[in-house]
Amino acid sequence: MLNLANELLKEINVLTYVGIGSGRTISSFIDALSSLKVNKKIKFIPSSLQILLKLQENGFEIDSFPTLKQIELYIDSVDQLELTTHHMIKGGGGALLKEKILMYNAKRTLIILQENKLTKKLGTNYPIPVEISPLSKPFVSDFLMTIGGYPSIRRDSREFPVYTENGNIILDVKFDKIDDALVLEQKIKLQPGVIEVGLFTRKPTCIYVIKDNSFERLT
């Protein structure tokens, strides 16, 4: 990860506003970045409380959603990335709403992922997270089943429902197959009670795949 952080440092250091995703890969990237000479003028916009605290612990400047001006670059990881389309599944950590807001409003998007996150077919052995209002659970669950989904509420180790930072719950939805991720994303998003869908169909600008102690750029 340090090699990749060093590779990207020159690009990052000329920016002012950089959005940051969530998860273990991004946490490791922040640790690596903190060991390098990062421009102190850069303001990072975190997608979750976890990453906000991580950035603060490493001495980075933070900006927030209400005050940000323009996101020049968004850096994130994924749960799955389809090789042919570069469509993605995200939301395993529960921060999909803020992650999508940042990604879709950034000028450029840079994705960092482990090699085992690549897939030939999106949704293979991995559910789509759907953030919903708790009130809408029975209605959204019924709807998802009518379009071929198998929804289950996300629970913690005590079997309590997991709540997002926005006060919502998450349904993890399995599909036998996903023919068109964009169509499915739009169909689910239109259902009343759905806050956000963990299908990310906006293609990233750059993709870096971590392989042991090295990395490979796909795009």
pLDDT in tens, 187-218: 999 999 999 999 999 999 999 999 888 899 99
Instruction: Say which CATH number the domain at 175 has.
Output: 3.30.70.260
Establish if 64 belongs to a structural domain: yes
**Per-residue pLDDT at 111 exceeds 80:** yes
Establish if 67 belongs to a structural domain: yes
Establish if 109 belongs to a structural domain: yes
| C-alpha distances out from residue 134 to 41, 76, 108, 155, Å | 40, 27, 33, 13
Q: Left (φ > 0), alpha (ψ -120 to 50) or beta: where does 167 sit?
A: left
109 in the same domain as 209: yes
Query: How many domains does the chain divide into?
Result: 2
| C-alpha distances out from residue 99 to 21, 45, 106, 118, 217, Å | 6, 10, 11, 19, 22
59, amino acid identity: G
Domain of residue 187 covers: 128-198
Q: Name which of 121, 135, 127, 145 is nearest 168 in CA terms.
A: 135
| Three-state SS at 97 | helix
Q: 106-114 and 206-211: which strand pairing? A: parallel
- The per-residue pLDDT for 108 is 97
Instruction: Say which CATH number the domain at 84 has.
Output: 3.40.50.1360
Evaluate whether 144 touches 175 at the Cβ level (below 8 Å).
no
Establish if 123 belongs to a structural domain: no
Q: Which of 2-11, 71-80, 183-192 has the lowest mean pLDDT?
A: 2-11
Set 99, 131, 185, 196: catalytic member: 99
CB neighbourhood size of 134 (10 A): 12
**Per-residue pLDDT at 70 exceeds 90:** no
| Three-state SS at 111 | strand
Establish if 32 belongs to a structural domain: yes
Q: Which of 56-65, 80-89, 185-194 has the lowest mean pLDDT?
A: 56-65
Residue 99 annotated among the catalytic residues of the structure:
yes
CA distance 54 to 123: 30
